[in-house]
């Protein structure tokens, strides 16, 4: 029996709630061995990001090539890639492994609303990484940047945005509805096979740090276990919702705390 392996290519969160750390926790919780390629280091906690140190693209390439040379990677999750050169490097490396499904979390917009990527980096992400993705997982602000237009949380608008992103070359789009208003959150999966709606009651908690990272990592975990995309997304959605519901059981930091990745294992 082959051990399922997923690789995360993302930045490090020294506070442990998002980025590489969240991805590895989600992989482990869902029964998948996690490997990692660091693209940036952050000095970060639940309240702030104090400093960022970018990893040189040559060393990122070395990490990716070394992992693939030895490990049977079953799926890849991509998080924030801050520079065009890094995006080009990751795209070049993954192009050599076309049979490995890629989950692209286009981390581009901070909670403050500020763009995290330069225009050149956004363009590189659209032209180089989107066509490699088995599924892209934008929230509403990120979809707005990718499409160059305002976004609303109405189901019709989200579905149309998913179709527009699908036309850019990826195989599926999971439009995340967490930024929409209302007591019900709806994510919409748009692919060539049709449209699927995933709904859940909104959980009122400030402890939502790392939700996007965790969801995309959980999808990658499902794909590494050879689940069909719809099943991988459905499982990941359910896992994240429970991790959010249980987040207040953790007492981590004084700001926006993490979701509870190990809610099924830790005693309550």
Give the catalytic positions in this structure: 176, 208, 210-213
Q: DSSP assignment, residue 4?
A: P
Q: Count how many residues are written for the chain.
A: 268
Task: Give the DSSP letter string of 31-73.
Answer: T-EEEEEEEEEEEE-SS-EEEEEEPPHHHHHHHHHHHHHHS--
Are 73 and 67 a contacting pair, CB within 8 Å? yes
Helix and strand totals (H; E) in the chain: 8, 9
Alpha carbon distance 261, 136 (integer Å): 22
- The DSSP 8-state label assigned to residue 257 in this structure reads P
Q: Is the dihedral of CA 238, 204, 265, 252 positive or negative?
A: positive
The span from the CA of 192 to the CA of 77, in Å, is 21
**How far is Cα 101 from Cα 133, in angstroms, rounded to an integer?**
7
Task: Tell me whether strands 194-201 and 184-191 are parallel, antiparallel or unpaired.
Answer: antiparallel
For 33, phi then psi, to 5°, come to -75, 130
Q: 163 near 155, Cβ under 8 Å?
A: no
């Amino acid at each position: 029996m082959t051990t399922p392996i997923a690789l995360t290519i993302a930045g490090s969160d020294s506070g442990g709630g998002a980025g590489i750390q969240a991805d590895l926790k989600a992989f482990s919780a869902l029964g998948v061995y996690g490997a990692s390629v660091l693209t940036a280091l952050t000095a970060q906690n639940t309240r702030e990001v104090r400093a960022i140190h970018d990893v040189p693209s040559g060393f990122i390439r070395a990490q990716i090539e070394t992992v693939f040379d030895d490990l049977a990677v079953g799926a890849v999750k991509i998080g924030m890639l801050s520079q065009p050169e890094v995006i080009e490097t990751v795209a070049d490396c993954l192009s050599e492994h076309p049979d490995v499904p890629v989950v692209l979390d286009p981390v581009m917009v901070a909670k403050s609303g500020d763009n995290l990527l330069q225009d050149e980096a956004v363009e590189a992400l659209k032209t180089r990484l989107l066509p490699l993705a088995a599924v892209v997982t934008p929230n509403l602000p990120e979809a707005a940047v990718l499409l160059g237009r305002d976004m609303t949380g109405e189901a019709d608008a989200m579905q149309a945005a998913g179709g527009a992103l699908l036309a850019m070359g990826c195989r599926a789009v999971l439009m995340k509805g967490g930024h929409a208003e209302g007591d019900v959150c709806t994510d919409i999966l748009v692919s060539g096979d049709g449209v699927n709606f995933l709904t859940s009651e909104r959980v009122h908690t400030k402890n939502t740090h790392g939700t996007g990272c965790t969801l995309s990592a959980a999808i990658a975990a499902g794909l590494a276990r050879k689940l069909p995309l719809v099943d991988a997304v459905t499982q990941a959605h359910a896992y994240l919702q429970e991790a959010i519901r249980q987040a207040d059981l953790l007492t981590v930091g004084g700001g926006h705390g993490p979701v509870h990745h190990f809610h099924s294992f830790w005693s309550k």
